Amino acid sequence: MSPCFCYRGLVVDIIRRLWDRGLYKDNKWLNMCHEAWFPYWVDYRTCLTMQDVDKQIEELALPTEVDKPVFSEELEGETLLGGRMELRAPWLDEEDND
């Protein structure tokens, strides 16, 4: 069963669909149910809409792949800590960096 299932909201939805077709508009019981349970219908429709939005978001979220950076260092250098350290993107040429 859907987490949005609410029989009162579903009943109001069915009543509204009947009224859209011109059926049972003057029925006293249906009017009373519609008036009393309208807030349940709003919650029901909101939940269904949000489920649809969630499904669309899942379809849009594509897995991404990030290339690992290239790390390089010179152990011997001008300072006591060593030489130059570098972190760069793998698609960049070393010659272009200088």
Taking the whole predicted model, whether its pTM rises above 0.85 is answered as: no
Task: Enumerate residues 6+ apart whose C-beta is below 8 A from 62.
Answer: none
**Alpha helices, H only, the chain:** 7-20, 28-60, 94-97
The answer to which of 36-40, 51-55, 65-69 has the lowest mean pLDDT is 65-69
Instruction: Tell me: pLDDT of 60 over 90.
Output: no
Tell me the C-alpha distance between 73 and 5, whole Å. Answer: 61
Condensed to tens digits (0 to 9), the pLDDT of residues 71-90 reads: 888 888 777 777 888 888 88
Q: How many other C-beta atoms are found inside a 10 Å radius of the C-beta of residue 33?
A: 16
> For the chain, which residues make up each domain, given as ranges?
7-60
Q: How many other C-beta atoms are found inside a 10 Å radius of the C-beta of residue 53?
A: 10
How far lies 28's CA from each of 1, 37, 77, in Å? 31, 14, 91
